[in-house]
A and B are shown apart, each in its own frame.
Chain A
Amino acid sequence: MFTNRMFNILVPVISVLLGLLAGAIIMLSFGYNPISGYIALWNGAFGDWYFFGETIRQVTPYIFTGLAVAFAFRSGLFNIGAEGQVLVGWLAAVWIGTTVDAPMFIHLPLAILAAFLAGAFWGFIPGILKAKLGVHEVIVTIMLNYIALYSTNAIIRSVLTDREDTTDKISESASLSADWIMQLTAYSRMHYGILLALLVAVLIWFLIDKTTLGYEIRSVGYNQHASRYAGMNVGKNIIFAMVISGGIAGLGGAMEGLGTFGYMPAHSGFTNIGFDGIAVALLGGNTALGVVIAAFLFGTLKIGALNMPTGAGVPSELVEIVIALIIFFVASSFVIRWMLLRLKKEGK
């Protein structure tokens, strides 16, 4: 028998396989060897310690944005604004990192907290608009993405610097990077953030599955009317879910600001960390463990792709296509379920 639980595992696995298969077909049709293409991808992600470190570095913010989108999803909200929350979180972290002078045990937590609060505020706006006025959160978060992009750029250029395109480096006491990790991974940009990411994943799992608050959030996600009838404050839960979601995405920004880069450049376009978080959350079935696994997969694909042009001559954008197709397949899970059931019937 196919249980629901099995479907929940099978659908993402089949989607990934179909996505990779489609990628192979595309490579074939353009005259590339798909096997050497995927080998190049694998080597680009795990071939040596440097690539391994870079992969983990990429996975770190994905875990955060994936968790952020997933957490909002559980309460029935689509936080497409993780991108903007990443940017404001990044800016807040770097702002504290460059301007405050304090010992590390104060400075680093303070910078991380600032990122969380900035992201949380960016999530609070769509949250309260949804709760009080019923405004659809998707549109508000999209608009806030652009407001975040242009405002952070303006602040970098005219407040944090004098018409420069990047901020100063953050001081050592706010940095997440560590010499021993860099030496171990042949000077990749891997940093302590991955530990924080895994810790937050555990916290989110606990919050959603083991607390009353999490129960209420899931309940609101399933059925707002029933939840209201049962005496839950739906509006409060919606705001809370968006605030936490935004805050987590803000932490993703802190990873870039305090770990990977150590500064913030003015962005000409989006970082895509937030948008990729949507894919991560979907593939991970909106559970904490699923998100961590999906983040590893997408991080691997993204970093591995960088090796595909040199390793096999394949443009790295192939991976973007594969990821888009995986999202399509997961979103169309209805059809995959239907096909699985058909296959099972015919097999009998």
Chain B
Amino acid sequence: MSFLDILQSIVPIALFYSAPLIFTALGGVFSERSGVVNIGLEGLMVMGAFVGIVFNLTFADTFGAATPWISVLVAMVVSAVFSLLHAVASVSFRADQVVSGVAINFLALGLGVFLTKQWYGKGQTDMVSQPFYSQNIPLLSDIPILGSIFFEGVYLTSYIAIIFAIIAWFILYKTSFGMRLTSVGQHPMAADTNGINVYAMRYVAVMISGALGGIGGSVFALTIALNFSQSTIVGQGFMSLAAVIFGKWHPLGAMGAALFFGFAQSLSVISSGVPLLEDIPKVYLTIAPYVLTILALAGFIGRSEAPKANNQPYIKGTR
């Protein structure tokens, strides 16, 4: 296996595994930058995966090849609405944000499996007939060398995820909406004094995280899992949360972290064929993202600091 061959097999798989993580991590960035910790990313992904699969199974005949795209959109909307629970609890009801996130995770899985059993009479759904397929991207895949590494046999969703990250960066850093959102997470009282509606900003931010988590979950379900069960989403949401922190709450940083985690996962998937890597026990590659996140937090790989008002409910009129 030449180096080029190795790249050709690793890069598409890394992109493939990263896409759901990138979407969800971007959602986490929005929510946490507004000062709402979102441990519930996992649950939002579960909801997205569930809705994506159920919609796909139900409407595959109606929409044909467009089904996976519409499924993702529907999952996005449903997860955004579902995330309102987290917003209501943690913004309006002043619940502990971490606890509310834990409840979201329980609830999404409970609802998903309950409804699956209700509608399909068993613990898992059938396989979808209209998943996303890998494809060669026109024009770009004709570029010599690079084309065959990056643009052959890839999923469009991976590139959409990367474009989303750039858009998220633009929104957060170049628009007044993004600036306001960040200020709400750093110093809600100062923001409030300047006429920014802290509660509204936080509601919007949490719903964006719900929408993106829904996209992430449904993309995972429609590219990797292809059905829904109790064990469809196991830890991808938490890995996305890790990407948020590893990426220092910056959209492009989170994307980079998610790409890296996807790369680590792809290594553990294909390591058996790659010289050098095949001698490393798989477990080291599997736990690498988590170990690296801890190291990053501890400041060994550049210090990452959370938005200042994270995990603090804002109560108008208190100092």
A: which residues have CB within 8 A of B? 30, 78, 80, 125, 129, 133, 135-136, 138-140, 142-147, 150-151, 153-154, 158, 268-270, 275, 278-279, 282, 315, 317-321, 323-325, 327-328, 330-335
Q: Which of A138, A150, A320 contacts B283 (CB 8 A)?
A: A150
Contact A331/B113 with A140-B297, A321-B107 known, Cβ cut-off 8 Å: no
Task: Compute how far the CA of A317 lies from the CA of B287 in the bound complex, rounded to whole angstroms.
Answer: 30
**Chain A binding site: helix, strand, loop or mixed by DSSP?**
helix
Contacts A320-B109, A332-B93: A136 and B297 contacting too (C-beta < 8 A)?
yes
A-B interface contact total, Cβ < 8 Å: 132
- C-alpha gap A327/B98 in the complex (Å): 11
- A236 to B68 CA separation, bound complex (whole angstroms): 53
| Apart from the given pairs A144-B290, A146-B238, A319-B110, 8 other A-B contacts in the complex at a CB distance below 8 Å | A125-B294, A153-B283, A268-B231, A279-B106, A320-B113, A327-B106, A331-B103, A333-B95
Residue interface mask B86-112, A partner, CB < 8 A = 1: 000100011110111011111101110
Known A-B contacts A269-B234, A334-B94, A335-B93; A278 and B102 likewise in contact (beta carbons under 8 Å): yes
| Residue from the list A143, A323, A331 in contact with B294, Cβ < 8 A | A143
Q: Which of B105, B287, B298 contacts A135 (CB 8 A)?
A: B298
Q: State whether A30 touches B118 (Cβ < 8 A).
A: yes
**Nearest Cβ in chain B — how far from A1, in angstroms?**
23
Find chain B residues with CB under 8 A from A129 CB.
Answer: 294, 297-298
> From A309, which residue of chain B is reached at the shortest CB distance?
B117
Tell me, yes or no, whether B281 is within 8 Å of chain A by CB: yes
Cβ of B85 and Cβ of A328 under 8 Å apart? yes
Partner of A331, one of B37, B99, B235, B287: B99
Residue of chain B at shortest CB distance from A142: B238
Give chain B residues whose Cβ lies under 8 Å from the Cβ of A315: 113-114, 117-118
Given A139-B297, A332-B95, A269:B231 Cβ within 8 A = yes
11 CB < 8 A contacts A-B: A80-B98, A140-B294, A145-B238, A315-B113, A320-B113, A325-B107, A327-B99, A328-B89, A331-B95, A332-B95, A335-B93
A330 partner residues in chain B, CB cutoff 8 A: 99
Q: How far is the CB of A18 from chain B (nearest CB, A)?
A: 13
A143 contacts B100, C-beta separation under 8 Å? no
Q: Which of B291-319 contact A (CB under 8 A)?
A: 291, 293-294, 297-299, 306
Task: Check if B93 sits within 8 Å of A143, measured CB to CB.
Answer: no
Partner of B106, one of A133, A144, A323, A335: A323
- B286 CB–A CB distance under 8 Å: yes
**When the two chains form their complex, are residues A146 and B111 in contact, meaning their CB atoms are under 8 A apart?**
no
Pick from B109, B291, B297: contact of A147, CB under 8 Å = B291
Which A-chain residue is minimally distant from B235 (CB atoms)?
Answer: A146
Whether A331 and B100, one on each chain, are in contact in the complex, defined by CB atoms closer than 8 angstroms, is yes
Also in contact, A317 and B113, with CB within 8 A (given A129-B298, A143-B291, A328-B95): yes
Once the chains are docked, how many angstroms separate the CA of A278 from the CA of B238? 17
Q: How far is the CA of A290 from the CA of B162 in the complex (A)?
A: 48
Q: Chain B residues with Cβ under 8 A from A279's Cβ?
A: 102, 106
Using an 8 Å CB-CB cutoff, how does the interface string of B199-221 with A read, 1 for contact, 0 for none? 00000000000000000000000
Let me know if B113 and A147 touch, CB within 8 A.
no
On whether the beta carbons of A133 and B110 are closer than 8 Å, the reply is no
- A40 → chain B closest CB, angstroms: 15
Contacts of B299 in A (CB 8 A): 133, 135
The residue in chain A whose Cβ has the minimal distance to the Cβ of B114 is A317
Q: In the complex the two chains form, what is the Cα distance from A38 to B103 in whole Å?
A: 22
CA distance A315 to B239 in the complex (A): 30
Known: A147-B291, A334-B93. A78 touches B98 (CB 8 A): yes
A324 touches B235 (CB 8 A): no
A72 to B117, CA, bound (A): 37
Q: In the complex, what residues of A have CB within 8 A of residue B107's CB?
A: 320-321, 324-325, 328
Q: Report how far A80 CA is from B100 CA in the complex, Å.
A: 13
The answer to whether A327 touches B297, judged by C-beta atoms less than 8 angstroms apart, is: no
Closest chain-B Cβ to A309's Cβ sits at a distance in Å of: 8
CB of B267 closer than 8 Å to a CB of A:
no
**Is the beta-carbon distance between A139 and B96 smaller than 8 angstroms?**
no
**CA of A135 to CA of B298 in the docked complex: distance in angstroms?**
6
Q: How far is the CB of B246 from chain A (nearest CB, A)?
A: 10
Interface contact A138-B98, CB-CB below 8 Å:
yes
CB contact list, B52-105 vs A, under 8 A:
85, 89, 93-96, 98-100, 102-105
Complex CA gap A268/B231 in Å reads: 8
- Residues in chain B near residue A269, CB distance under 8 A: 230-231, 234
Q: In the complex, which residue of chain B has the Cβ closest to the Cβ of A317? A: B114
Minimum-distance CB pairs A-B, first 9 = A320-B110, A324-B107, A324-B106, A154-B283, A331-B95, A332-B93, A317-B114, A315-B117, A327-B103
User: Within 8 Å CB of B242, what residues of A?
Assistant: 139, 142-143
- With A and B bound together, what is the CA distance between A151 and B239 in angstroms? 17
Q: How far is the CA of A30 from the CA of B117 in the complex (A)?
A: 12
Chain B residue numbers with a CB within 8 Å of A317 are 109-111, 113-114, 117
With CB as the reference atom, state the residue of chain B lying closest to A272.
B106
Mask for B258-281, Cβ within 8 A of A = 1, else 0?
000000000000000000000001
Give every chain A residue within 8 A of B96 (Cβ-Cβ).
331
B99 engages A139 (CB within 8 Å): no
B93 CB contacts on chain A under 8 angstroms: 331-332, 334-335
Contacts of B37 in A (CB 8 A): 138
Q: How far is the CA of A140 from the CA of B241 in the complex (A)?
A: 11
Q: Which residue of the partner chain B has the closest CB to A268? A: B231
Which chain A positions have C-beta within 8 A of B100?
Answer: 328, 331-332
**Cα of A313 to Cα of B110 in the assembled complex, Å:** 16
Contact A136 B306 (CB under 8 A): yes
Contact of A154 among B39, B103, B281 (CB under 8 A): B281
Interface residue? B245 (CB, 8 A) = yes
Q: Closest CB-CB distance, A166 to chain B, in whole Å?
A: 18
Contacts of B85 in A (CB 8 A): 328
